[in-house]
Amino acid sequence: MDRPYIICHMVTSLDGKVTGDFLGRDAHSGLIKDYYRIHREYGADGFICGRVTMEGSFPQPPVLPIVYDCPSIERVDHIAERSSFYAVAIDPKGKLWWGSRAISDPDDGYDGAHIIEVLTQNVSDTFLAHLRGKGISCLFGGKTELDLTLVAQKLKRLFGIETLLLEGGGIVNGSFLQEGLIDEISLVVVPEAECSEKAISLFQTGKYHADNTMTASFRLKEAKILDDDGGLWLTYQNSYEGVMNMYNFIFQNTTKIYFGENQLGHLGEELKQYGTRVLMTYGGGSIKRIGLYEKIIEVLKKAGLTVLELSGIEPNPRHTTVNKGADICKKEKIDVLLAVGGGSTIDCTKAIAAAAFYEGDSWDLVTQKAPVIKALPVFTVLTLAATGSEMDSGSVISNIDTNEKYGLIHPFLQPKVSFLDPANTYSVSAFQTACGSADILSHIFDVFYFTASEKMDMVDRIMEEVIKTVVKHAPIAVKEPENYKARANLMWAASWALNGFLQTGGFQAASCHAMEHELSAFYDITHGLGLAILTPRWMEYILDESIAPQFKKFGVNVFGVDSSLSDMEGAKRAITCLNDFLFKTLDLKSTLTEIGIDDTNFKIMAKKACQGDVLQGFKPLTPEDVENIFRMCL
Ligand code: NZQ
Ligand code: ZN
């Protein structure tokens, strides 16, 4: 496991409350002692609590507002000390002004635990300076909200925590539960019902996933009567017995697809189910050149819909364009959005759909400063096979003022209906066809084909078939742009590479995508080209004995590499085949130098890709690793 084994250890009332008067009654003091005894007996490497629980359990002397005359402090993880026992505080905004570097408590099970503050980047410099001054460690778990999976991974990787006791409160417990991070539950049950509505339950809905209710099943491991005190000690094991998320998934893709020629006749009837005022969005004019614009306008008029337009959506769409679209939606009381174009138009339109319900700058939604609370329905007519945006809930938006490009992902952004007519991609240039194909391949490689996790055979084999489909049909589409069969195969492959199906059973962060988004954020290059240049270099860089078998298998099954070669030779051969495919067969440029990029910004780009620390993925990469990979691409 790449994170600690997590045991949620709590005292509860009969009605599952973890706060209330029952905790303070003399009659139950023996059980509270049992709770502390069990805590000690677990011999864990640390315990983790939310801010409120920490404040309640370990009150600190009041802190006068401290003003440090300090320069801005970098938001990087800080290991102040190595310890055999840690007190980990979930304190996203930095409110726990600890008086010292370790817990001071009469109980041996807590006393002396070195403090690790878990923060978002949204903390003040003054607070960080205070932590440094006191010798307290800290780690960052997100920009404005915490990604608890990442936090758990960092606790293991940076501090070596193998076993962690999760000790409340209810919202923190609930958030861990919702992220599938609880392996075991240990409950000391007090024989009293708390009943108070104000009392908090063992698992409250995690605030980070308030709209995402889920059930989690555990099986009873042991039930022990705690002598004389009338209490019970119940332990439960996660049904998946510590194998994190293996074959444990929810799959729902709600986009209705009309595939093939002459399907646009259905557009009017589908749109009318969501309203009558349509904002049609498109890019720089390709849809007019191919006659698609007129066709769609005719269908919409025929259906009696009122149509407004937003044109000029840029490749690598800008947040300023999203703002423009959101203004139109608000002013014109738009009911439904219709994106006609490639991934950029669709992504921009999805972001508009969410921004239509937000009063501020849409960049706040992209950077998660503000949550997506609602979104207008989105329809798409796809004209370029690449991103899968027509059938997923993601959008990627750029801010050219800050050289940033981030994903905005939310279930509300999933298109309601998408029209996929391969003939609409006949006019896509050889270059964009090649880039789109590289993007499709990368979605499979990056997200779950090359992975350290276990995956289902069925999914693995389908991935290889989709990869082979692209390898077969992309060169045909490049040479014969009006080959319907090739265009159809590429189009459907693109949608399925990233519609969630191939990610069933596991998930991993997409490291090549994170590196590419830095390239396109700084240099506005075509996404698929950046991926094509990066991917073989990344493979070369991470290749070692443990990775070689996967790369070799890819070479054997996709490119027919000789299976009798050693793992390492087979892996190297596979990388050569991928190079030849991308740069000879598809004729893409193979270096950053050829597209005018030098090393000026590599350091900062590498740091941003890693969010200051480590870029997760098949193989975790440090900023230095990422910089090395960028250099290999020169
Ligand atoms: O703007 P127009 O005139 O339409 O021209 C476009 C654009 O110049 C042109 N084009 C599109 N369809 C055409 C056509 N030209 C002739 N005939 C047609 N039928 O192609 C150019 C590129 O279009 P764009 O939409 O930018 O390409 P793509 O579909 O590759 O989208 C790239 C964007 O999607 C993001 C990328 O980062 C990038 O910003 N991604 C979105 C993802 C998602 N939503 O899930 C995931 C991806 O990994 C990716 O990051
Ligand atoms: Zn992509």
Cα separation, 382 vs 41, whole angstroms: 59
Whether 503 lines ligand 1, by a CB cut-off of 6 Å, is no
Report the residue count for the chain: 634
For residue 590 and ligand 1, the question of a CB distance below 6 A is answered with no
Ligand in closest contact with the CA of 291 = 1
Instruction: Please give the helix or strand (H or E) that residue 119 lies within, else none.
Output: strand 114-119
Q: Whole-angstrom Cα distance, residue 611 to residue 134? A: 25
CA 629 to ligand 2 center in whole angstroms: 18
Q: What architecture (CATH level 2) is domain 1-45+165-239? A: 3-Layer(aba) Sandwich (3.40)
Closest residue CA from atom 23 of ligand 1:
342
Opening angle at CA 539, ends 505 and 438, nearest 5: 75
Q: Cα separations (Å) of 55 from 10, 152, 173?
A: 17, 22, 16
In the chain, what are the helix, strand and coil shares in percent, each to the nearest 5?
45, 15, 40
State which ligand 1 atom lies nearest to the alpha carbon of 528: 30
CA 421/CA 381 separation, integer angstroms: 8
HEC string for 189-248: ECCCCCCCCCCCECCCCCHHHCCCCCCCCEEEEEEEEECCCCEEEEEEEECCCCCCCCCC
> Each residue of 397-430: pLDDT tens digit?
999 999 999 999 999 999 999 999 999 999 999 9
| Ligand 1 pocket check for 424: Cβ under 6 Å | yes
Q: Which of 380, 381, 387, 448 to mutate to test the pocket of ligand 1 (most atoms within 8 A of CB)?
A: 387
How confident is residue 243, by pLDDT bands cut at 50, 70 and 90?
very low
* Alpha carbons 434 and 71: distance in angstroms, whole number: 47
Atom of ligand 1 nearest to the CA of 314: 1
d(C-alpha 531, C-alpha 519), whole Å: 9
Q: For residue 441, how far is its CA from the centre of ligand 2 (angstroms)?
A: 9
Provide mean pLDDT across the span 472-489: 98
Nearest to 114 by CA among 101, 131, 127, 105: 101
Atom of ligand 1 nearest to the CA of 313: 1
Distance in angstroms (rounded) separating the CA atoms of residues 139 and 137: 7
Structural domain spans, the chain: 1-45+165-239, 46-161, 256-425, 430-632
Give CA–CA dist 533/562, Å, rounded. 25
* Pairing of β 137-140 and β 417-420: unpaired
| 173-231 pLDDT, tens digit each | 999 998 889 999 999 999 999 998 889 999 987 555 545 555 677 888 889 998 777 89
- In which residue are the tokens 């102040």 written? 80
Nearest ligand 1 atom to alpha carbon 282 = 4
Percentage with pLDDT > 90 across the chain: 81
β-strand 306-310 against 378-382: which pairing, if any? unpaired
> Residue 65's pLDDT band (boundaries 50, 70, 90)?
low
Give dist(CA 355, CA 359) in Å, integer: 8
Q: Which atom from ligand 1 is nearest to the alpha carbon of 435?
A: 30
As to burial, measured by CB atoms within 10 angstroms (0-12 exposed, 13-18 middle, 19+ buried), residue 262 is: exposed
What angle separates helix 457-479 from helix 548-559, to the nearest 10 degrees? 50
CA distance to 422, 480, 604, per residue, from 490 (Å): 8, 13, 35
CA proximity to 566, closest of 589, 583, 543: 543
Q: What is the dotted CATH code of the domain comprising 256-425?
A: 3.40.50.1970
Nearest CA to ligand 1 atom 3: 284
Specify the pLDDT at position 205. Answer: 75
Q: Which of 146, 386, 427 is nearest to 396 (CA)?
A: 386
Query: Under a CB-based contact definition with an 8 Å cutoff, are residues 223 and 232 in contact?
Result: yes
Give the residue, out of 345, 384, 440, 502, with the most ligand 1 atoms within 8 A of its beta carbon, to mutate for a pocket test: 384
Cα of 382 to ligand 1 centre, how many Å?
10
Q: Tell whether ligand 1 has an atom less than 6 A from the beta carbon of residue 286.
A: yes
Q: How confident is the model at residue 540 (pLDDT cuts 50, 70, 90)?
A: very high
Which residue in this structure is represented by tokens 């800080």?
78
Distance CA 335, CA 394 (A): 21
- Enumerate helices (H) and strands (E) in the chain, giving the number of each: 20, 17
The ligand that comes nearest to the alpha carbon of residue 344 is 1
| DSSP per residue, 241-296 | TT-TTTT--------EEEESTT-GGGHHHHHHTT-SEEEEEE-SSHHHHTTHHHHH
Token duo for residue 292? 């698609």
Q: Label residue 568 exposed, middle or buried (CB < 10 Å: 0-12, 13-18, 19+).
A: middle
Q: How far apart are CA 329 and CA 21, in angstroms?
A: 51
Q: Find all residues with CB under 8 Å of 550, minimum gap 6, and list them.
A: 450, 571
As beta bridge partners, residue 277 has 306
| CA angle, 328 then 329 then 331, to 5° | 65
Cα-Cα-Cα-Cα torsion 564, 566, 567, 569, nearest 10 degrees, comes to -110
* 199 vs 169: CA distance, rounded Å: 11
Query: Smallest Cα–Cα separation from 444: which of 491, 385, 393, 513?
Result: 513
Predicted TM-score (pTM) above 0.75: no
Cβ atoms of 200 and 18 within 8 Å: the answer is yes
Which of these, 389, 409, 338, lies nearest to 495 by C-alpha position? Answer: 389
- Tell me which residue has its CA closest to atom 49 in ligand 1: 387
At 244, the pLDDT band (50, 70, 90 cuts) reads: very low
Preceding omega of 135 cis (within 30 degrees of 0): no
φ, ψ at 386 (rounded to 5°): -165, -70
Report the pLDDT value the prediction gives residue 310, as an integer from 0 to 100.
98
Query: Helix (H, G, I), strand (E, B), or coil: what is residue 101?
Result: coil
Q: Is the CB of 392 under 6 A from ligand 1?
A: yes
- Which amino acid, 532? A
Asked whether 354 and 370 are in contact (CB, 8 A), the reply is: no
Nearest CA to ligand 1 atom 8: 315
- Cα 436 to middle of ligand 1, angstroms: 8
CB of 427 within 6 A of ligand 1: the answer is yes
Task: Say whether pLDDT at 242 is over 50.
Answer: no
Q: Greater confidence, 270 or 509?
A: 270
Strand partners, 218: 238
What per-residue confidence (pLDDT) applies to 15? 95
Arithmetic mean of pLDDT, 544-573:
96
Averaged pLDDT of the chain: 93
Determine contact, residues 321/361, Cβ cutoff 8 Å.
no
- Dist. CA 356–CA 344, nearest whole Å: 18
CATH superfamily entry for domain 430-632: Dehydroquinate synthase-like - alpha domain (1.20.1090.10)
407 pairs with which residues across the strands? 396
Q: What are phi and psi of 304, to 5 degrees?
A: 75, 25
Q: How far is the CA of 528 from the centre of ligand 2 (A)?
A: 7
